[in-house]
Amino acid sequence: MKITYPWEAPPENGSVREVADGVLWLRLPLPMALDHVNVYVLDDGDGWTLIDTGMKWGKVPAMWQSVLDGPLKGKPVTRVMSTHHHPDHIGFNGWFVERGAQLFSTRTAFILGRMLTLDDQDTYNAEQIAFYRRAGMREDLWEARKTDRPFNFADIVHPLPLGFTRLSPGQRLTMAGRDWTVRIGKGHAPAHATFWSDDGLVLSGDQVIPSISSNIGVYPTEPEANPLQDWLDTCRAFQDFAQDDQLILPGHKVPFRGLAPRLQQLIENHESALDRMRDALKSPLTCGEVLETIFKRTVKDGEYGLALVEGLAHCNYLWHREEVTRTLGDDGMYRWQMR
């Protein structure tokens, strides 16, 4: 089966499109290279269930109010289903809870989102600076990072509530008159919730996206994590549930059919990058020095941070498999080399 796209173009930012009976697709803007996020609005009759809520910035609050007053017909949002903790997906969770909605999330996603929203920093601390040095961050960017303001969730996420309702693997839910099964993915984010309806809809969040690969990153909060192993394991596990007639509703880009071939593409993309790394790491290199090998292009300044943490995920994967050694140099950088 090939990957196909039922809709060539998305709705305009702040507009909705019905993609299945009782399921609306809402597109909201983001202030970054990936300039949008998809939110899905499910009609429960007397209210609405949201799948994610976008990022709190710019004109998005006004867009939400316009959607609530217009296409959502003034009916209340009663539930918010949070796929994962990233700020482009949880920006308005607290805003809707304050207005009466019940928040559903995996435990890990909720705790991470709340922790990072409360962790408001003016500058990077010494532990973070050392992390990026060990990763081999480019010298000029590393020097700038010492005085830069960090990326703060609090700047773009409405304060999250104290409590939530937990989503668990295998849990059954009713939304938009359908029965859904919760399946948990890993890699892009720990404990990422996806929702699979009995009639062939899959709300995949960022776990499965068409045409681009979700970022798989290692961060100062868990510097020796192995998210790439988690990602590959999830892709293989989800292959068991893939069916030809499923409509996949992702967190970015456009809905598509062809889950099985897309999962295989995602696996092969990383396996190919790992093979290129194995060849390059016959000589010792820092993570920063191996980025062009992984991505097959020069990494631009605006994407360097995400590229570096993804490069580190690939290095950690090989290290956990004991394929490479890791040596800390006098300059404070790790260098990786095949055994």
Q: What is the pTM of this model?
A: 0.97
pLDDT tens digits, one per residue of 226-282: 999 999 999 999 999 999 999 999 999 999 999 999 999 999 999 999 999 999 999
Nearest 5°: CA angle at 91, between 46 and 224? 125
Q: Does residue 325 lie in a domain region?
A: yes
Q: Does residue 302 lie in a domain region?
A: yes
Number of domains in the chain: 1
Q: Does residue 142 lie in a domain region?
A: yes
Q: Does residue 300 lie in a domain region?
A: yes
What is the Cα 200 distance to its own chain's centre?
22
Tell me, what's the pLDDT at 131?
Answer: 98
Q: Does residue 113 lie in a domain region?
A: yes
Q: Does residue 11 lie in a domain region?
A: no
| CB contact at 8 A, 246 and 201 | yes
Three-class SS of the chain? CCCECCCCCCCCCCCEEEEECCEEEEEEECCCCCCEEEEEEEECCCCEEEECCCCCCCCHHHHHHHHHHCCCCCCCEEEEECCCCCHHHHCCHHHHHHCCCEEEECHHHHHHHHHHHHCCCCCCCHHHHHHHHHCCCCHHHHHHHCCCCCCCHHHCCCCCCCCCEECCCCCEEEECCEEEEEEEECCCCCCEEEEEECCCEEEEECCCCCCCCCCCCCCCCCCCCCHHHHHHHHHHHHHCCCCCCCEEEECCCCCEECHHHHHHHHHHHHHHHHHHHHHHCCCCECCHHHHHHHHCCCCCHHHHHHHHHHHHHHHHHHHHCCCEEEEECCCCCEEEEEC
Q: Does residue 43 lie in a domain region?
A: yes
Closest listed residue to residue 234, CA positions, set 283, 280, 183: 183
Tell me, what's the pLDDT at 1?
Answer: 83
* Domain interval for residue 178: 16-338
Name residues of the chain where pLDDT drops below 70: none
Closest listed residue to residue 1, CA positions, set 263, 214, 269, 268: 263
> What does the alpha-carbon distance between residue 319 and residue 312 come to, in Å, rounded to a whole number?
10
The CATH number of the domain where 65 resides is what?
3.60.15.10
135: which 2 tokens? 């990763």
| CB contact at 8 A, 47 and 76 | yes
Could you tell me the end-to-end alpha-carbon distance of the chain, in angstroms, rounded to an integer? Answer: 40
What is the Cα 57 distance to its own chain's centre?
18
Q: Does residue 80 lie in a domain region?
A: yes
